[in-house]
Amino acid sequence: MYNHKEIEAKWQKFWEDNQTYTAKDGTGKAKKFILIEFPYPSGAGLHMGHLRPYVAGDAYSRFMRMRGFETMYPIGWDAFGLPAENYAIKNGIHPRISTEQNIANAKKQIKNWGIGFDWSREINTTDPEYYKWTQWIFLQFYKAGLAFESTGLINWCPKDKTGLANEEVIDGKCERCGTVVEKREMKQWYLRISAYAQKLLDGLKELDWPESVKIQQENWIGRSEGALIKFPFSKQSESVEIFTTRPDTLFGSTYMVLAPDHPLINKITTEDHRTEVEAYAQAALNKPEIERTAVDKEKTGVFTGGYAINPATEEEIPVWIADYVLSSYGTGAIMAVPAHDERDHAFAKKYNLPIRKVVAAPAGVEVKNEVYTGEGTLVNSGEYNFMPTSEARQHITADFGKPKVQYRLRDWVFSRQRYWGEPIPLVHCEKCGVVPVPENQLPVTLPEVEKYEPTGTGESPLAAVESWVNTTCPNCQGPAKRETNTMPQWAGSSWYYLRYTDPKNNVQLADKEKLKYWQPVDVYFGGMEHTTLHLLYSRFWNQFLYDQGIVTVKEPYLLRIPHGIILGPDGEKMSKSRGNVVNPDDVVEQYGADTLRMYEMFLGPHGDVIAWNDNGIVGVRRFLERVSALVPKQEEPAKRALHKLIKKISQDLEEYKFNTSIAAFMEFLNNNPNMNQSDLETYLKLLSPFAPHITEELWSRLGHQTSIHLESWPKYDEEQLKEENVTIVVQVMGKVRDSIVVKTGASEEEVRNLVMSSPNISKHVEGKEILKVIYVPDRLINLVIK
């Protein structure tokens, strides 16, 4: 009987008591640092979406440990931020208390799943001993001039009542709650991630990440090479600067467009156009950005009444405002070239503006609808005529403007008007202005408050806690007020992997030697979401800390292994309202953690989106029942098949192909149900990363005192694999009479024919009737005669 409950509880306790998975410093061994995205301790507990990467990372780290690497597989809690806080508000419990409860619950779940995390390195982003260092890093940004306060239009979620970063706005909606975001003019703290745009792009080249993830980051950073060109206003002394990627088309610019909130609108607009311009600008700014920039949307705009001079043609060209030009990109103004840009063309057609062709397409290239956006040769461009566009770009830039590399990446809005986050360690002094809290006064702890609901006024709930807000200026000792905004969700997770290397250090973020040993993360298991959030932010922090000489490598994560999501049995996304949620804890209860783990891997390739299927789990359970009953037999070793299995499992694990391993285990057991002690031990070792409990149980039944998970990984012999022939023992009535050499995998008929023609055998069976033939492939043949 396979009593999974008893077995699993027993070994979970054993691992805990024996610190089986504790990674050691200073062993001098080569290391592996395996990481999963640490969870939010939410009230709903952990689900299949957590299980999948944890199980994969677990199998992989057990494999690496057995391969002789000092292996760290740590876990912690990303416990600050909106989910924890919203849960607390909804349930009327203080976030600190609900977070504690949720962590205790999630921990129990994970232990029941048999995940071999190194609990000695557990961290919690809401622990003052942890966020002290989050605050310390913020101060380093501040000192380096990369944390700054600025007033501007930012994204605001009316439901969560807080400002958001650009990265937290997905298709115009709040990343957390899906509410359409608004724009609000607010004074905010920013991190100057834009200063790292190029470094973040360059760093991607060294990473072994899925191409799609790299491309998403590249697009988000959005590098464009072009030029800045100044167009003087014709009646005013000001000039307006534009950013263009096509300076070669300068002669074709027949009008200009400013963003509806461009600072020069007031100057350029003539009195007779003012009312119309202001009304248009108002309406445009109330529209969500996503609507304004949609490619297929009908273009609109209004004439300001003013003119600028095209510096190349020296013509007066009209200046318009239109919502398709954004103030947040480039200079917030464009030179419109309707003959060579689709949007400008649509606009010019609608408002009857002149269209001048300045690029001729190469012979044979068809030009559709009067717009040619490709490369070619210049025409109607004075002395630049006949120049290829690429060359003209250089010359026209040099003659009329200056080169400019433009990035789409915007600075990171870093303050939140919410309670449950790290306080930003700054004070505002009437005399000294903004003063950083001295490092030796960190952490600035989050005060206990009565009311932690967001106010919606743009002020954090902390602003109401006078005893906390009022403080003394570290500089002049005069009265000062604490900064009351908190840090975003993504602060604590931007450096958590560093803390794992030295989680209890109270004098520095982590000891440099330890960082040097463990960095970088070798394999990072995680989802496909957060590509332009956590994965971008933490690369930024790591690169910054590298430049500060604090960490030892530029890039935090060498390899990223993404997983597909697990759908409900109905093929739909698991959700409470659909009632198709498969709770991993129920599966553990009924079938055991080993069955859950193996079945989850058996479902399909780790990267695939896959539907749970309740029927198949019984097969895995039965397989483990058979495993649980295995005892060593006096059999010949299953040489070739076993070496094949070792090779297969090793390669699968190296390539994160967990599903095909499971099938190989089943097949091997079907063909070799009676393994001898040595083969059985090898088999159990191979199986141990997948089914850690039952293999540990059998290992101990075989007489071992120490954990199977600390054994070394079996090695296969290429020679054994190459071996084409096997020797088959030939018995007559159970007595060995001969041996013959046949091809591996030979069929019973082939072997029987060979045996019958052997003189050693024919003398024993001459004139007798053969009642039965017992054939064990690659092993023996036994003739039963009368």
Q: Would you tell me which residues interact with ligand ANZ (CB under 6 A)?
A: 224, 243-246, 249, 259, 324-326, 329-330, 332, 334-335, 337, 340-341, 406
Nearer to ligand ANZ, 390 or 508 (CB): 390
Q: Which does 330 bind (CB under 5 to 8 A by kind): ligand ANZ, Zn ion, none?
A: ligand ANZ
Beta strands in 449-530 (DSSP E): 470-472, 479-482, 523-526
Nearer to ligand ANZ, 325 or 746 (CB): 325
Nearer to ligand ANZ, 244 or 254 (CB): 244
Q: How far is the CB of 233 from ligand ANZ (least distance, A)?
A: 19
Per DSSP, the three-state class of 138 is helix
Q: How far is the CB of 379 from ligand ANZ (least distance, A)?
A: 14
Q: Which does 475 bind (CB under 5 to 8 A by kind): Zn ion, ligand ANZ, none?
A: Zn ion
Q: Which does 432 bind (CB under 5 to 8 A by kind): ligand ANZ, Zn ion, none?
A: Zn ion
Q: Which does 89 bind (CB under 5 to 8 A by kind): Zn ion, ligand ANZ, none?
A: none
∠ CA(212), CA(217), CA(221), 5° rounding? 145
Chain center to CA of 273:
50
Nearer to ligand ANZ, 44 or 309 (CB): 309
Q: How many chain residues touch Zn ion (CB under 5 A)?
A: 6
Nearer to ligand ANZ, 227 or 684 (CB): 227
Gap between the Cα atoms of 88 and 85, Å rounded? 5
Nearer to ligand ANZ, 280 or 623 (CB): 280
Site track 375-414 with Zn ion (rule: CB under 5 A), x = hit: ----------------------------------------
Gap between the Cα atoms of 647 and 686, Å rounded? 10
Q: How far is the CB of 224 from ligand ANZ (least distance, A)?
A: 3
Q: Which does 326 bind (CB under 5 to 8 A by kind): Zn ion, ligand ANZ, none?
A: ligand ANZ
Nearer to ligand ANZ, 9 or 326 (CB): 326
Of 84-92, 104-112, 339-347, 468-476, the segment contacting Zn ion by CB under 5 A is 468-476
**Checking DSSP bridges between strand 560-562 and strand 523-526, what pairing results, if any?**
parallel
Angle at which helices 95-112 and 584-591 cross, to 10°: 40
Question: What values do phi and psi take at 188, rounded to 5?
Answer: -140, 155
Q: How far is the CB of 245 from Zn ion (least distance, A)?
A: 47
Of 213-221, 295-303, 426-434, 524-532, the segment contacting Zn ion by CB under 5 A is 426-434
Q: How far is the CB of 230 from ligand ANZ (least distance, A)?
A: 14
- Which residues between 430 and 449 bind Zn ion (CB under 5 A)? 431-432
Q: How far is the CB of 299 from ligand ANZ (least distance, A)?
A: 11
- Structure-block tokens of residue 750: 């082939």
Gap between the Cα atoms of 616 and 618, Å rounded? 5
Q: Which does 476 bind (CB under 5 to 8 A by kind): Zn ion, ligand ANZ, none?
A: Zn ion
Residue 682 burial (C-beta neighbours within 10 Å; 0-12, 13-18, 19+): buried
- Is residue 476 within the footprint of Zn ion (CB under 5 A)? yes
Q: Omega before 443 cis (within 30°)?
A: yes
Q: Which does 335 bind (CB under 5 to 8 A by kind): ligand ANZ, Zn ion, none?
A: ligand ANZ
Gap between the Cα atoms of 772 and 782, Å rounded? 8
Per DSSP, the three-state class of 259 is coil
Gap between the Cα atoms of 592 and 584, Å rounded? 10
∠ CA(136), CA(39), CA(159), 5° rounding? 85
Nearer to ligand ANZ, 396 or 588 (CB): 396
Q: Which does 153 bind (CB under 5 to 8 A by kind): ligand ANZ, Zn ion, none?
A: none
Which residue matches tokens 């206990």?
448
Residues 754 and 740: beta-carbon distance below 8 Å = yes
Nearer to ligand ANZ, 139 or 325 (CB): 325
Q: Which one of residues 157, 197, 473, 510 is an interface residue with Zn ion (CB under 5 A)?
A: 473
**Checking DSSP bridges between strand 70-72 and strand 770-776, what pairing results, if any?**
unpaired
Nearer to ligand ANZ, 231 or 716 (CB): 231
Gap between the Cα atoms of 622 and 462, Å rounded? 57
- Structure-block tokens of residue 448: 């206990």
Nearer to Zn ion, 287 or 428 (CB): 428
Nearer to Zn ion, 236 or 475 (CB): 475
- Is residue 470 within the footprint of Zn ion (CB under 5 A)? no
Q: Which does 246 bind (CB under 5 to 8 A by kind): Zn ion, ligand ANZ, none?
A: ligand ANZ
Q: Which one of residues 234, 475, 505, 700 is an interface residue with Zn ion (CB under 5 A)?
A: 475
Which residue matches tokens 């199986």?
687
Q: Render 190-241 in DSSP notation, one character per residue.
A: EE-GGGGHHHHHHHHTT-B--HHHHHHHHHHH-EEEEEEEEEEBSSSS-EEE
- Is residue 429 within the footprint of Zn ion (CB under 5 A)? yes
Gap between the Cα atoms of 230 and 237, Å rounded? 12
Residues 316 and 234: beta-carbon distance below 8 Å = yes
Gap between the Cα atoms of 341 and 371, Å rounded? 7
Q: How far is the CB of 242 from ligand ANZ (least distance, A)?
A: 7
Centre a 10 Å sphere on the Cβ of residue 330 and count the other Cβ atoms it contains. Answer: 21
Question: What values do phi and psi take at 339, rounded to 5?
Answer: -75, -15
Q: How far is the CB of 354 from ligand ANZ (least distance, A)?
A: 15
Give the interface with Zn ion as residue ranges (CB under 5 A): 429, 431-432, 473, 475-476
